[in-house]
Chains A and B, each alone.
Chain A
């Protein structure tokens, strides 16, 4: 998921123009032929920058995304759910790790990316700035948030940058398990007691619109989409993916007796797709600016983990150095 461009600014157009025209043409031909670009290959600077921004934003989203779900590990309702949730959050940490590694192949270090996250300079998916209030939120996140993530990520398995595409293959397999377990939680709740049904409906009410926002601004307000599609960093537009998500998810809600909180949602026979209401883009941009309901809590949690862990990372570094020196001395 989490691959939406949240920069909101149009990348400078001269970036590509100032590159060596012959190299640029060869690069574009390779991309157009669906070849993978590898770390040592020549690439335009704007391509590298866009990828760093997108992959690191994706990695940060995995890491920050551990917090709303981690919030329920100690309170999971039974041992099976606890084990599944632990495994899921562990997967997210693993995804973060592969993605940081993929971004590192583009010449940025994990520490630099972490600093950018903690300082607020780097963005992450807006969805994680909403709180998880009840157990049903864990179901809703798996079903909707991971469901939206899959929509975004499946095409990225064919993204033009090799290390990113390969990370995506692995991540997609796990995300589909995440989506299924989330839907299964919702199914249980929706078929449960009145209190559980209420919990499930309330979670859907709160997570539906933020999930639609995950695909990013409408196409006419997404300045970098065209360039990213031409370079095959991105393979579908935001609106196309959003439509696909609604088309798949709305019947799933209906199947378990939950109502999507959108009075305008209606199957359109002519289009062969659902019509749906307008997303509150003002809220979206506010969350992107860092004004989401729990944005401060999320940032504080990451900063605290990083600062409280500084002595541990330092100890590990010093210890490794001592060991290396002792080995040299012994040789």
Chain B
């Protein structure tokens, strides 16, 4: 977490970082997807996420009031100041792994934004309300693919199970609450994420059942993204993403 950010700005930055890093990951697929229709849908999701990131990071900068805009936050922070969850920075892997990540995340994000669209804060609520429409589609898209791959061929099932196994250890982090969340709730901007867990479990279980897949066994959660303790992957994501801004400081693009 960026220790320089006040709590409400940090809260907005977390939301922005989640969308940014996942959008960045999905952008890696562009031109390489299994079918043209999939290329279209993945880039569409990426585009939505980059839009959300722009809004939330812009808001984080505005709340901070130190002259940092969304680009400054996206392109000029290092790993330890990024506060996205570990799930979104996980590598794309094969298509099943990408879908597993999207499935777990978009279902969480849909529940989160449903609540956030109704918070009192007039900066957070409208962003969430707009994003909610997009995110519901992302969740449906990912859930449909989980069903197709889970209940498709033997190979697709094996791959879907492996993809879920890779991602599952990062799911708990989505629902972890800390002081930043508490401050955001106290200010009428935040959502009680822990309270979303039961609804999320129900959605995930329903899709897995339809996909003829077993729910992965519970395991020790891996957490830390919210406070800047990331996987090794994030540094590589940032080094590609931030390359131009770092190589040509002060240039206007």
Using a CB–CB distance below 8 Å, which chain A residues touch chain B?
63, 66-67, 70, 73-83, 86-87, 89-90, 93-94, 96-97, 100, 135, 185, 188-189, 192-193, 195-196, 301, 304-305, 308-316, 318-319, 322
CA distance A314 to B32 in the complex (A): 17
Given A90-B43, A309-B33, 7 new contacts (CB under 8 A): A63-B36, A67-B31, A80-B54, A86-B46, A87-B47, A135-B253, A196-B248
CA distance A75 to B23 in the complex (A): 12
For residue B248, which residues in chain A have a CB less than 8 angstroms away from its CB? 193, 195-196
Residue pair B252, A86 in contact (C-beta under 8 Å): no
CA distance A97 to B41 in the complex (A): 13
**Would you call B94 an interface residue if the criterion is a C-beta within 8 Å of the partner chain's C-beta atoms?**
yes
For residue A315, which residues in chain B have a CB less than 8 angstroms away from its CB? 148-149, 152-153, 155-156
For residue A83, which residues in chain B have a CB less than 8 angstroms away from its CB? 47, 50-51, 54
Contact of B27 among A86, A308, A310 (CB under 8 A): A86
B164 to chain A, nearest CB (A): 15
Residue pair B40, A196 in contact (C-beta under 8 Å): no
In the complex with contacts A74-B240, A309-B35, A312-B95, A86-B43 CB distance below 8 A: yes
Secondary structure dominating the interface of B:
helix
Count of A-B contacts judged by CB separation below 8 Å: 142
The chain A residue with its CB closest to the CB of B27 is A73
For residue B70, which residues in chain A have a CB less than 8 angstroms away from its CB? 79
Q: Which of B59-109 contact A (CB under 8 A)?
A: 70-71, 74-75, 94-95
**Would you call B118 an interface residue if the criterion is a C-beta within 8 Å of the partner chain's C-beta atoms?**
no
CA distance A301 to B152 in the complex (A): 26
Residue pair A89, B31 in contact (C-beta under 8 Å): yes
**Would you call B195 an interface residue if the criterion is a C-beta within 8 Å of the partner chain's C-beta atoms?**
no
Residue pair B32, A304 in contact (C-beta under 8 Å): yes
**Would you call B241 an interface residue if the criterion is a C-beta within 8 Å of the partner chain's C-beta atoms?**
yes
**Would you call B205 an interface residue if the criterion is a C-beta within 8 Å of the partner chain's C-beta atoms?**
no
B215 to chain A, nearest CB (A): 20
B144 to chain A, nearest CB (A): 10
CA distance A213 to B224 in the complex (A): 53
Using a CB–CB distance below 8 Å, which chain B residues touch chain A?
20, 23-24, 27-28, 30-40, 43-44, 46-47, 50-51, 53-54, 57, 70-71, 74-75, 94-95, 147-149, 151-153, 155-156, 159, 240-241, 243-245, 248, 250-253
For residue B250, which residues in chain A have a CB less than 8 angstroms away from its CB? 193
Residue pair B30, A86 in contact (C-beta under 8 Å): yes
15 A-B pairs (CB sep. < 8 Å)? A70-B31, A74-B24, A74-B28, A78-B71, A82-B23, A90-B30, A90-B39, A135-B253, A185-B253, A192-B251, A301-B31, A305-B33, A310-B34, A312-B35, A314-B153
Residue pair B27, A316 in contact (C-beta under 8 Å): no
Q: Considering the complex of A and B, which 5 residue pairs feature the smallest CB-CB distances, nearest first? A: A309-B34, A315-B152, A315-B156, A312-B34, A70-B31
For residue B23, which residues in chain A have a CB less than 8 angstroms away from its CB? 82
Residue pair B71, A79 in contact (C-beta under 8 Å): yes
Contact of A311 among B71, B75, B159 (CB under 8 A): B159
Most interface-central of B37, B57, B71, B152 (chain A CB within 10 A): B152
Residue pair B34, A308 in contact (C-beta under 8 Å): yes
Residue pair B148, A316 in contact (C-beta under 8 Å): yes
CA distance A313 to B155 in the complex (A): 12
CA distance A297 to B30 in the complex (A): 16
Contact of A305 among B32, B37, B75, B151 (CB under 8 A): B32
The chain B residue with its CB closest to the CB of A79 is B54
For residue A318, which residues in chain B have a CB less than 8 angstroms away from its CB? 152-153, 156
The chain B residue with its CB closest to the CB of A67 is B31
CA distance A96 to B33 in the complex (A): 14
Residue pair A75, B54 in contact (C-beta under 8 Å): no
